[in-house]
A and B are shown apart, each in its own frame.
Chain A
Amino acid sequence: MTIHYTRTAKSLHWLMAVLLIGLLALGFYMQDLPLSPEKLKLYSWHKWAGVTAFLLVVIRLSWRIANRPPALPESMPRLMQWAAHAGHFALYALMIAIPLSGWLMSSAKGFQTVWFGVLPIPDLLDKNRELGELLAGVHKALNLLFVAVLLGHVGAALKHHFIDKDDILARMLPKH
């Protein structure tokens, strides 16, 4: 019998999956656009969504700490279990580090983050062109790393389902 993730954990997982894929696509798309009202709008939306994703990951981590996820199957080799934990740790670390790097980058570039155009997030850094460029590089590098870990995450879930034929993927899907 499959022990599922909680309904809350599943909702947060899939909500964030959609949000983060959208954020990644938007982020990579908007960076090379010529300056236009459209570009400024997309940047604002990206920042609003980024703050939202950060709040969601904080809620999600709190939930995960209070509600332990189901254990990995005994059939999994030790090394694979370790790799699964390391992968999940990396995903969470990046889900926290990426919005923080985006927020710091915005501050250093002199554009405060104002959530939904209403709630100003304080600037931790003063405007500094060189630091802004550096943090933009950091934000991009972290995202490339995130894409790599994400591909591993999706690949591993599909391998569990179609090759190992265990219930790893099923326990994150809606119950029938």
Chain B
Amino acid sequence: MKRFLFALALAAGLPLAAQAANFNQVQNDKSAIAFTYQQMGVKVDGKFRKFAAKLNFDPAKPADANATFDVDLASVDAGAPEADDEVAGKPWFNTKAFPTAQFVSTGVKAVGANRYDVTGKLTIKGKTQEIVVPATFNAQGTTGVFDGSFTLRRGDFAIGEGTWAKFDIVANDVLVKFRITATYGK
């Protein structure tokens, strides 16, 4: 009987052990960081062509997860060539002085089936704010996909200074969306 129970526990435990996996190999070609902003009621889509993402995520232990994003701000596609040049400039990202935006997670909390709140510090243009980013995680075999979005208030980071500082033409709220695909490694 003891042996039987042991075998049962083993059998029950094995699939769990097999599922436990650390998704930490980010697939850059299947990942994206994009955003949508509003210009006098017109939604304009943009994205960042270059960024580096590092993450460790074990669905069995979400609290131990961590993520770091480094976004090359000069790689911005703000919707038009003219806008790309403008946004790299001093009033906006000032990429010469602040080439990178960084997000470093400080905690991950499971809030439902495949849903997580990722808390972390977002630094843009020398200003740091704590934000909470809701994300979903869906795994298919050895590949996991994180999807999420959050609203960034550009005014909080002085993105768009001087004549751009008012929000009547370019709105304060910018919706940032991301999709990070990672496979699991050791």
Give the interface of A toward B (CB within 8 A). Answer: 35-38, 40-41, 44, 109-114, 116-118, 129
Contact = CB atoms under 8 A, between A and B. Distances in A.
Given A37-B164, A41-B169, A117 B79 contact: no
Contacts of A41: 40, 169
Contacts of A116: 41
Given A35-B86, A110-B45, A40 B40 contact: yes
B169 A37 contact: yes
B142 interface: no
Nearest to A113: B42
Nearest to A119: B41
Contacts of B164: 37
Interface of B: 39-45, 79-83, 85-86, 163-164, 166, 168-170
Given A40-B40, A114-B42, A117-B40, A109 B166 contact: no
B45 A114 contact: no
26 contacts: A36-B163, A37-B163, A37-B164, A37-B169, A38-B163, A40-B39, A40-B169, A40-B170, A41-B40, A41-B169, A44-B40, A44-B41, A44-B42, A109-B80, A110-B44, A110-B45, A110-B80, A111-B39, A111-B42, A111-B44, A111-B79, A111-B80, A116-B41, A117-B41, A117-B42, A129-B81
Which secondary structure characterizes the binding site on chain B? Answer: mixed
Nearest to A106: B42
Q: Which of A37, A109, A110 has the most CB of B within 10 A?
A: A37
Contact of A112 (B42, B83, B85, B169): B42
Contacts of A129: 81
